[in-house]
Structure 1
Amino acid sequence: MPQYINVEVSDGIQIITINRPQAKNAITIDTAVEMAAAFEEMDARDDVRIGILTGAAATFSSGMDLKDFARTGKRSVVEGKGFAGFVEAPPKKPLIAAVEGYALAGGCEMVLACDLVVAANNASFGLPELKRGLVPGSGGMMRLPRRIPYHIAMEVVLTGDMFSAERAHQFGLINVLTEPGLALAGAIKLAQRISENGPLAIQTAKRLINEGLDWSSDQMFDLQRPRMAHIFSSLDAREGSTAFAEKRKPVWQGK
């Protein structure tokens, strides 16, 4: 049984809660290993279509546990997976960040590794590494300029200052703003909307959106075509069309 995270599955949604409130949900190597296992389980389970990552006690995460690092000398990095067991190799299934309180340093980089973000309107984000003579090397410098305008990303990284959920929403980093205490509920609502769709199509769409970011306009359709061909010959595609014609909800098989 995991000691530092809680995992629950309900109605096709796997909720992973970082549960180290005494350390503001900072990530130790042991926490990262448990998170990596939870994401592997999420991808392996046929009854899970989407995941939600959140933190206990109204805080998302303050990033790497520096006290644990000082004590053990071990960074919170899993080989092949990166910080927190997933930032360099996110799960194949969509992942929503449900943010309350602070998402700082590695905590903010975990948010950037997620596919969608729901946050309380009083939440705070930040990449303060430069204030410590470090750099945000777990995706902050690479992902943030892809999520928000270049000049704003530069400001966030180079100043190391926190920025509000309201400002993050203004620049498109957050999908849904909620009242404080309701981020997880909002993320569950969003997950339910997504999980109504074909599971094979959901995973394929996530993969193609991410891979397509690096494709040139003259190659993108040729590169996309073989990666989506299986969708149109799938049982789910046939079921979706049949259900539409019969005016009923589809019964997906993920095949």
Structure 2
Amino acid sequence: MENIIVDYSFKDNEHVALIKLNRPKVLNALTTDLIKELVETLYKIEDDPKIRCTILTGNDKAFAAGADIAQMVEATAIDQLQSERYRYLQQFNLLTKPIIAAVNGFALGGGCELAMMCDLIIAGDSAKFGQPEIKIGTIPGAGGSQRLTRAIGKSKAMMLALTGDMINARQADEWGLVAKVVPSMTLLDEAYQLAKTISQRAPVAVQLCKQSVNKAYEMSLSDALDYERRSYYLTFSSEDQKEGMRAFLEKRAPEYKGK
């Protein structure tokens, strides 16, 4: 891997993987090659039954400061239409295991979009979020206008998208973009503790719960409630559900196998 660093047993925990974006000289600007490596790695994790949760992070200065403009400046509409970048990003939506974005520094443009593609965001107190595409004559193209609106509402999303301004971690927390804000120095430790907790839950239930929450954005309330109920029923065909309830009644810790 040239653009990312992968630890398949973060802090020696076989259930938690860490992926670090690794283009520090350009603030982890997103190229097609980086996105390809990232998605291929996530699908490798998807096929590994031991790994149950992934942390995606950058460095102290940037999670990712947007797309690599040098790759795009002379591109045509047909170039963009035929780009592998968007095919890889579409595959991101099919992943079933939880992904935590641990954000320090800049998460701008494509970087903000990438963080929002994850299942939840934990921000270091130095984090800054924004969709500055308008400042260079274009608009968000990988979900920024859609996911941001769903996360923080129309007026705030419109303000950010039309001005290109950034918000800090505290504002992102207040507006509902991030799950919580922690000291930048302890960001990975905080993300790990959350990933560890998730990895201790029943993997089948985690997968179904993730999918059910995501459906809340895509369905009417009636259809989404029906989807949730059917997913709930489905958990009762798993060994994990039997183990979890028996462990509760027997007052012991469950031992989940993801079956």
- Structure 2 residue 237 is the aligned partner of structure 1 residue 233: yes
- Structure 2 residue 89 is the aligned partner of structure 1 residue 82: yes
Cα shift at 1:72: 8.9
Match of 2:115 in 1: 111
Q: 2:116, 2:48 → 1: CA distance? A: 24
Counting only pairs closer than 5 Å after superposition, residues 129-168 of structure 1 correspond to structure 2 as 129-168=133-172
Pick from 203, 207, 224 the counterpart of residue 203 of structure 1.
207
Segments of structure 2 that go 5 or more residues without pairing to the other structure are none
Match of 1:128 in 2: 132
Q: 1:95, 1:213 → 2: CA distance? A: 18
Cα shift at 1:37: 0.7
Q: Count residues in correspondence.
A: 251
Match of 1:8 in 2: 7
C-alpha offsets along residues 161-187 of structure 1, whole Å, 9 cap, x if unaligned? 011111001112111211123222211
Cα shift at 1:71: 8.4
Instruction: Kindly provide the amino acid, as one letter, of the partner of residue 4 in structure 1.
Output: N
Further displaced range: 112-121 or 176-185 = 176-185
- What root-mean-square deviation, in Å, do the aligned CA atoms of Structure 1 and Structure 2 show? 2.0
Contact kept, 8 Å, 2:59 with 2:105, in 1: the verdict is no
Cα shift at 1:78: 3.4
Instruction: Kindly provide the amino acid, as one letter, of the partner of residue 232 in structure 1.
Output: F
Q: 1:166, 1:126 → 2: CA distance? A: 13
Q: 1:33, 1:217 → 2: CA distance? A: 35
Further displaced range: 214-223 or 26-35 = 214-223
TM-score where L is the length of structure 2: 0.90
Contact kept, 8 Å, 1:90 with 1:114, in 2: the verdict is no
Cα shift at 1:92: 1.2
- Structure 2 residue 71 is the aligned partner of structure 1 residue 68: yes
Q: 1:109, 1:246 → 2: CA distance? A: 44
Cα shift at 1:9: 2.0
Cα gap change, 1:40 to 1:223, in 2 (>3 Å): same
Contact kept, 8 Å, 1:21 with 1:57, in 2: the verdict is no
Partner SS, residue 253 of structure 1: coil
Cα shift at 1:214: 2.5
Instruction: Kindly provide the amino acid, as one letter, of the partner of residue 60 in structure 1.
Output: F
Segments of structure 1 that go 5 or more residues without pairing to the other structure are none
Match of 1:43 in 2: 46
Cα gap change, 1:248 to 1:109, in 2 (>3 Å): same
Larger helix proportion of the pair: 2
Cα shift at 1:44: 1.0
Contact kept, 8 Å, 1:99 with 1:184, in 2: the verdict is no
Q: 1:151, 1:16 → 2: CA distance? A: 33
Cα shift at 1:24: 0.6
Cα gap change, 1:170 to 1:98, in 2 (>3 Å): same
Cα gap change, 1:90 to 1:108, in 2 (>3 Å): farther
C-alpha offsets along residues 140-160 of structure 1, whole Å, 9 cap, x if unaligned? 001011111221111111111
C-alpha offsets along residues 24-47 of structure 1, whole Å, 9 cap, x if unaligned? 111112111101111101211101
Contact kept, 8 Å, 1:32 with 1:77, in 2: the verdict is no
C-alpha offsets along residues 23-78 of structure 1, whole Å, 9 cap, x if unaligned? 11111121111011111012111011111110135420011111234589876743
